[in-house]
Amino acid sequence: MAEAEYLVAGLGNPGPEYENTPHNLGFLTVNLLAGRAQARLSRFECRALVGVAVLEGKRVLLAQPQTYMNLSGESVNGLAGKYGFAPERVVLVYDDLDLPWGTIRIRPDGSAGGHHGVEDVIRCLGTQTFPRVRMGIHPGHEVRDGAKFVLAQFKGGQKKELDSFIGQAADAVESIIAGGVDKAMAAHNRRAPGARKEEQ
């Protein structure tokens, strides 16, 4: 593979039963990015489905780890090592229950905020300094069982907003690739009323 400038990894769980759930928003965003670039996720490497896309004039390796969410770091770190991506060139896309539904937040670094997939990426990369696009999924009312909520099928109202939401996340990724994290944050981050807590 000719040298790619970024690795964009969308987190999720493999299998049709998880396809239309909040925990798979990372997968759905990577699918959209591949579609925009007329690319295919057709290879299996480092326990991930991968494909090369040209986004904003730059070659990007798109990836969907197939390890199941809580072991995502094995795949992401494997790809980063195989192709020589420094952590600041690894863009992680994932759902975040600490942000309101429909909110996009770009960060250059930070803790996992209780997200087990991100925890594993941090553990395997050995750093929390890598860009991420957080996709808020909190419904605005009490969630008694977070694990059950993130694996439940999208509700009617969410389905209506899903295409726009995923499109915003894909735009955010492309902004990072085009101009870097700081410019992307200025363009895409919005104050998130009702956010339960902010990443540290």
The verdict on whether 23 is a catalytic residue reads yes
Two structure tokens written together for 145: 């069982």
**What contacts 20, CB < 8 A, 6 or more positions away?**
153, 154
What's the CA dihedral at 129, 139, 21, 120 to 10 degrees? 20
Catalytic residue among 23, 115, 138, 188: 23
**What contacts 22, CB < 8 A, 6 or more positions away?**
95, 97, 137, 149, 150, 151, 152, 154, 158
Annotated catalytic residues are: 23
